[in-house]
Chains A and B, each alone.
Chain A
């Protein structure tokens, strides 16, 4: 479905069209939600709540942004409420236990899984505000002014959060996974 078809599907509230809209945009929303909250179960709940909220707020969608951007805005708000209610991200202990199982069962896959877990783990250690800009910049591939509009903050704030978040990620990632190149901005010890 192209953007126009998505928009018509959303506004028409036709069940078949809505089903296709969920199938088209839902997976990407789910991945974004997972990166924002760090837990797959909660991410599923957040995406479900996003679509439910979108149905309730359909009259407020003025078409000034894409349907996906509007849905992602709802997802962001719900994720912030999720954090504010005291729910934690997946803790390091749970990820360590997962890694331990992998070591015993499939040593050949260890490096790949460790690498994947480590990046998500590093993202989970950031504050919510810094995690948001990383996800929007590198997963949603938004530009600075788009991130600023989406989060309701200034472009300068977006840049400063990005700089800080990238520096923090660099400190947390192992040297072999350093995405900043062989030399990088900082050297891990």
Chain B
């Protein structure tokens, strides 16, 4: 234990919150170090003087009468039976909303990843002309909000879509449907 180490433990020593072993080491150091003993003495004087001065400077402060009236008015106006139940209701609704959002996002991600893209098809017509068609399908995310009482609930879902495109040499026909 040196003076620097003791300085780091000074407040803990003054609080009496050191372990038994550390307390012993600190007191052994203080027994042999007059400088650190002086620091302890000054800190104790500081705490005592500071505390007394702060108490003196604020002793004249008094609560204004209106404060008590306003607090009691607020107490009367605040419903007692529903305070806890409202909090509980809000907690459950938020949890349900968050869970629904997580499920919707997971559903969207899973269906998007597993949705195969249709490969272009090559069909032969009786007339000998060749036809290439492409079909693309997937899910478009849809985010909706609705209000229930004083709550706003959000919901993430997906809407499937299919796009067909037929390519002809010199001709093209597009068809899309949702």
Q: Collect the chain A residues with CB atoms within 8 Å of residue B47's CB.
A: 137-138
State whether the Cβ of B56 lies closer than 8 Å to any Cβ in chain A. Answer: yes
B84 contacts A59, CB within 8 Å?
yes
Q: Given the known A-B contacts A44-B63, A116-B57, A166-B46, are A144 and B12 also in contact in the complex, defined by CB atoms under 8 Å?
A: yes
B67 contacts A55, CB within 8 Å?
no
Q: Collect the chain B residues with CB atoms within 8 Å of residue A55's CB.
A: 71, 74-75, 78
* Complex partner residue of B70 from A48, A58, A137, A184, CB under 8 angstroms: A48
A30 contacts B61, CB within 8 Å?
yes
Q: Given the known A-B contacts A22-B68, A138-B47, A139-B51, are A15 and B58 also in contact in the complex, defined by CB atoms under 8 Å?
A: no
* Complex partner residue of A15 from B17, B42, B72, B87, CB under 8 angstroms: B72
Which residue of A has the minimal Cβ distance to B53? A119
A120 contacts B61, CB within 8 Å?
no
State whether the Cβ of A27 lies closer than 8 Å to any Cβ in chain B. Answer: yes
Give the Cβ gap from B25 to chain A, nearest Cβ, in Å. 18
Q: Collect the chain A residues with CB atoms within 8 Å of residue B11's CB.
A: 144, 159, 162
State whether the Cβ of A96 lies closer than 8 Å to any Cβ in chain B. Answer: no
* Complex partner residue of A47 from B49, B54, B57, B63, CB under 8 angstroms: B63
Q: How far is the CA of A185 from the CA of B45 in the complex (A)?
A: 13
Number of contacts between A and B (CB, 8 Å)?
Answer: 107
Q: How far is the CA of A178 from the CA of B99 in the complex (A)?
A: 60
State whether the Cβ of B55 lies closer than 8 Å to any Cβ in chain A. Answer: yes
State whether the Cβ of B76 lies closer than 8 Å to any Cβ in chain A. Answer: yes
Give residues 5-48 of A contacting B (CB, 8 Å): 13, 15, 18-19, 22-23, 26-27, 30-31, 34-35, 40, 43-44, 47-48
A31 contacts B45, CB within 8 Å?
no
Contact with A along B58-82 (1 / 0, CB 8 A): 1101111001101110111010100
Give residues 30-78 of A contacting B (CB, 8 Å): 30-31, 34-35, 40, 43-44, 47-48, 51-52, 55-56, 58-60
Give the Cβ gap from A160 to chain B, nearest Cβ, in Å. 10
A181 contacts B63, CB within 8 Å?
no
Give the Cβ gap from A187 to chain B, nearest Cβ, in Å. 14
* Complex partner residue of B17 from A51, A119, A144, CB under 8 angstroms: A144
Q: Collect the chain B residues with CB atoms within 8 Å of residue A44's CB.
A: 63-64, 67
Q: Collect the chain A residues with CB atoms within 8 Å of residue B17's CB.
A: 143-145
State whether the Cβ of A141 lies closer than 8 Å to any Cβ in chain B. Answer: yes
Give the Cβ gap from A29 to chain B, nearest Cβ, in Å. 9
Give the Cβ gap from B152 to chain A, nearest Cβ, in Å. 21
- A-B residue pairs in contact (CB < 8 Å), sample of 18: A15-B75, A19-B72, A22-B67, A26-B67, A26-B68, A40-B61, A43-B61, A51-B71, A55-B78, A59-B83, A59-B84, A59-B87, A119-B57, A138-B51, A162-B11, A179-B50, A181-B42, A185-B42
The 5 A-B residue pairs with the shortest CB-CB distance in the complex, in nearest-first order? A31-B58, A138-B50, A143-B15, A51-B71, A59-B84
